[in-house]
């Protein structure tokens, strides 16, 4: 069956238009794929950059943790030494207190002073003085 010439022209005219539309659609799709590909690449770069920053932060945190642990250990050792020193000081103070308890108190000293002043040892004669007076 032969098509009328009018229809053949319409079909022939549609063919190039449809091809052009397909080419245009294909170009649009390719352009969108390229845009999406560029966006994906940028996202991947950002993710990689963020991963690197996170790795650096992790390293810094680990270093800080090591430093803090070291400082805590040093402080703990210093506290132990201070406790030993305080214990030694307490022991020394305890011994000083015990020694002070054995010494004479102010009241006892004043009593002894009264007895000495009553006896007045300057009035007593020494042996040599006694012997000299006896010889005379």
Q: What is the pLDDT of residues 25-57, one digit of tens each?
A: 999 999 999 999 999 999 999 999 999 999 999
* Cα distance between residue 13 and residue 7, in whole Å: 10
Structure tokens given for 54: 């996170």
Helix, strand, coil percentages, rounded to 5, for the chain: 90, 0, 10
| E-assigned strand segments in 3-134 | none
CA 37 to chain centre: 46
Is 11 within 8 Å of 3 (Cβ atoms)? yes
Cα–Cα distance measured from residue 34 to residue 6, given in angstroms and rounded to the nearest whole number: 42
- pTM score: 0.49
CB contact burial 73-98 (16+ within 10 A = b; e otherwise): eeeeeeeeeeeeeeeeeeeeeeeeee
Note the pLDDT tens digit of each residue in 53-92. Answer: 999 999 999 999 999 999 999 999 999 999 999 999 999 9
User: Residue 27 and residue 16: Cα distance in Å, rounded?
Assistant: 16
């Amino acid at each position: 069956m032969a098509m009328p010439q009018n229809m053949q022209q319409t079909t022939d005219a549609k063919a190039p238009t449809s091809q052009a539309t397909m080419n245009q659609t294909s170009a649009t799709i390719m352009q969108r794929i390229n845009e999406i590909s560029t966006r994906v690449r940028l996202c991947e770069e950002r993710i990689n950059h963020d991963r690197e920053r996170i790795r650096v932060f992790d390293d810094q945190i680990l270093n800080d943790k090591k430093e803090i642990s070291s400082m805590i250990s040093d402080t703990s050792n210093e506290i132990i030494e201070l406790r030993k020193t305080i214990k030694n000081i307490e022991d020394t103070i305890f011994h000083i207190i015990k020694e002070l308890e054995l010494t004479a108190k102010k009241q006892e000293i004043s009593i002894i002073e009264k007895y000495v002043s009553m006896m007045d040892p300057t009035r007593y004669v020494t042996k040599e003085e006694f012997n000299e007076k006896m010889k005379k």
